């Protein structure tokens, strides 16, 4: 026993802390939870702090780096940073790349909290934000100014599932030397890789499809070395890194991501078609449907599937919509998306504090609009669940 000269009180702090090394060729990387590595002496300090990447956990961690490698591989990017949430990734990127006096163009059909970030934080630091319809090239073009630094976009808008022409955005931005930052959460690298379209930065809320099991909160940022170096310097100071345990679990989730999302994409397409056939459904928003306003663009940009998010409209009757939710047997109402189970959300309820009813209706968020995040269930079970619940709309008032 190594620590027999000290008391149990002290010994228990030290015993068992030597790694059982070497463990040769484990199939899965171990979890490195250590927040720091031991420095031998003063001579070793430079090596430890400068040379050894894994000197302190916030600076670098092997599990987090494994995830970063996987993300860079999927997005075809040079370098990635893995963050504690999607919002951590978004705020770190924006605060790092833009400064007071810079102008940012975005849209109000993006993730709600990103809009709040622009309105409450970004503008507080003296950056200007203009909201446009990013699916309208002329409108984007008109919004560009000499000081435009970033065009910030998502590919599939929320909750109306419109498609942004990434090539057109990149073209407009790069003509004036602005950067294109894409939140690609809804599309995933299996539907579209923004960097291949010339975008400068791609971000994901990994809480959604990357994690895929509704049990991890994380985000990531990917881009070329020169930009990522700049973001990394600020990421260290903001402390927006992901912890080792979550990183390890995230890597495990990523291993099966392609299988999950390809099933989710296929299910979304089939469910969209089935809902469109249902007599209680007024319309369905999903890009692979021929009547979608950007159907051709979507097919061109996302030939392997247009994601697993769709929305549909039923009668604008709060009571019946509530009853519809109660009647669904498999599908639950959840404040997230991208999990392996199908979930629904109610946009008008989600945005009721930010907008008046009139504004919501103008934005296409009527009481009868329901958003679906499609999972990996057997498609027949899924369609059957929606069909039986939709019969509540057959009832006369």
Ligand X SMILES: *Cc1c(COP(=O)(O)O)cnc(C)c1O
Residue whose CB is less far from ligand X, 70 or 87: 87
Residue whose CB is less far from ligand X, 133 or 316: 133
Q: Segment contacting ligand X (CB under 6 A): 65-73, 82-90, 285-293, 319-327? A: 82-90
Residue whose CB is less far from ligand X, 115 or 383: 115
Residue whose CB is less far from ligand X, 153 or 389: 153
Q: Which residues inside 199-238 make contact with ligand X, applying CB under 6 A?
A: 205, 207-208, 217, 219
Give the separation between CA 383 and CA 395, rounded to whole angstroms: 20
**Nearest distance in Å: CB 346, ligand X:** 16
Angle between helices 244-255 and 62-75 (to 10 degrees): 40
Residue whose CB is less far from ligand X, 86 or 305: 86
Residue whose CB is less far from ligand X, 128 or 154: 154
Strands in 128-131's sheet, in edge-to-edge order, are 79-83, 219-223, 201-205, 179-183, 148-154, 103-106, 128-131
**Nearest distance in Å: CB 371, ligand X:** 11
Residue whose CB is less far from ligand X, 248 or 393: 248
From residue 138, how far is each of 134, 148, 172 by CA, in Å?
9, 16, 10
**Nearest distance in Å: CB 221, ligand X:** 12
Q: Segment contacting ligand X (CB under 6 A): 182-190, 239-247, 283-291, 385-393? A: 182-190
Q: Comparing C-alpha atoms, which of 288, 316, 296 is closest to residue 374? A: 288
Give the separation between CA 174 and CA 181, rounded to whole angstroms: 12
Q: Comparing C-alpha atoms, which of 193, 169, 188 is closest to residue 180? A: 169
In three state form, how does the secondary structure of 111-125 look? Answer: CHHHHHHHHHHHHHH
Give the separation between CA 35 and CA 243, rounded to whole angstroms: 10
Contact status, residue 301 vs residue 287, Cβ threshold 8 Å: no
Contact status, residue 155 vs residue 166, Cβ threshold 8 Å: yes
Residue selected from 87, 95, 180, 289 as contacting ligand X according to rule CB under 6 A: 87
**Nearest distance in Å: CB 154, ligand X:** 6
Q: Are strands 343-345 and 332-333 parallel, antiparallel or unpaired?
A: parallel
Q: Please work out the total of residues on this chain that contact ligand X, with binding judged by CB under 6 A.
A: 14
Residue selected from 63, 79, 157, 185 as contacting ligand X according to rule CB under 6 A: 185
Strand runs labelled E in the chain: 79-83, 103-106, 128-131, 148-154, 179-183, 201-205, 219-223, 283-285, 309-313, 332-333, 343-345, 369-373
Contact code string over 135-174 relative to ligand X, x by CB under 6 A = -------------------x--------------------
Residue whose CB is less far from ligand X, 152 or 312: 152
**Nearest distance in Å: CB 56, ligand X:** 24
Q: Which residues inside 95-134 make contact with ligand X, applying CB under 6 A?
A: 111, 114
Q: Which residues inside 45-64 make contact with ligand X, applying CB under 6 A?
A: none
Chain residue whose CB lies nearest ligand X: 86
Burial class (CB in 10 A: 0-12, 13-18, 19+), 232: middle
Can you give the binding site for ligand X, defined by CB under 6 A? 85-87, 111, 114, 154, 183, 185-186, 205, 207-208, 217, 219
């Amino acid at each position: 026993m190594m620590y027999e000269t000290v008391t149990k009180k002290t010994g228990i702090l030290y015993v068992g802390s030597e790694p059982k090394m070497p463990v040769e060729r484990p199939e899965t990387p171990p979890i490195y939870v250590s927040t720091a590595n031991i420095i031998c002496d003063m001579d070793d300090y430079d090596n430890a702090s400068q040379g050894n990447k894994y000197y302190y956990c916030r600076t670098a961690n092997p599990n987090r780096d494994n995830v970063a490698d996987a993300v860079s591989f999927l997005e075809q990017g040079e370098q990635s940073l893995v963050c504690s949430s999607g919002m951590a990734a978004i705020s770190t990127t924006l605060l790092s790349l833009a400064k007071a006096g810079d102008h940012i163009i975005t849209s109000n059909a993006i993730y709600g909290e990103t809009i709040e970030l622009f309105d409450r934080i970004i503008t507080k630091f003296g950056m200007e934000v203009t909201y446009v319809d990013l699916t309208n090239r002329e409108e984007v073009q008109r919004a560009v100014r000499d000081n435009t630094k970033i065009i910030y976009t998502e590919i599939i808008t929320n909750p109306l599932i419109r498609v942004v022409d990434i090539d057109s955005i990149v073209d407009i931005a790069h003509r004036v030397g602005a950067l294109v930052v894409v939140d690609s959460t809804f599309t995933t690298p299996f539907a579209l890789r923004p960097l291949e379209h010339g975008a400068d930065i791609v971000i994901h809320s990994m809480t959604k499809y990357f994690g895929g099991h509704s049990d991890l909160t994380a985000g990531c940022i990917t881009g070329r070395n020169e930009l990522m170096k700049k973001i990394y310097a600020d990421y260290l100071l903001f402390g927006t890194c992901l912890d080792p345990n979550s990183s390890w679990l995230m890597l495990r989730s990523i291993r099966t991501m392609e299988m999950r999302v390809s099933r989710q994409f296929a299910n979304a397409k089939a469910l969209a078609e089935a809902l469109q056939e249902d007599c209680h459904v007024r319309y369905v928003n999903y890009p692979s449907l021929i009547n979608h306003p950007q159907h051709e663009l979507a097919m061109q940009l996302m030939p392997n599937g247009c994601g697993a998010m769709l929305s549909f409209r039923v009668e604008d009757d709060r009571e019946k919509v509530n009853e519809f939710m109660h009647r669904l047997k498999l599908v639950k109402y959840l404040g997230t998306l991208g999990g392996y189970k199908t979930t629904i959300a109610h946009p008008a309820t989600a945005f009721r504090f930010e907008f008046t009813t009139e504004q919501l209706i103008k934005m296409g968020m009527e009481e009868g609009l329901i958003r679906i995040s499609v999972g990996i269930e057997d498609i027949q079970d899924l369609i059957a669940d929606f069909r039986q619940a939709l019969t509540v709309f057959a009832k006369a008032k």
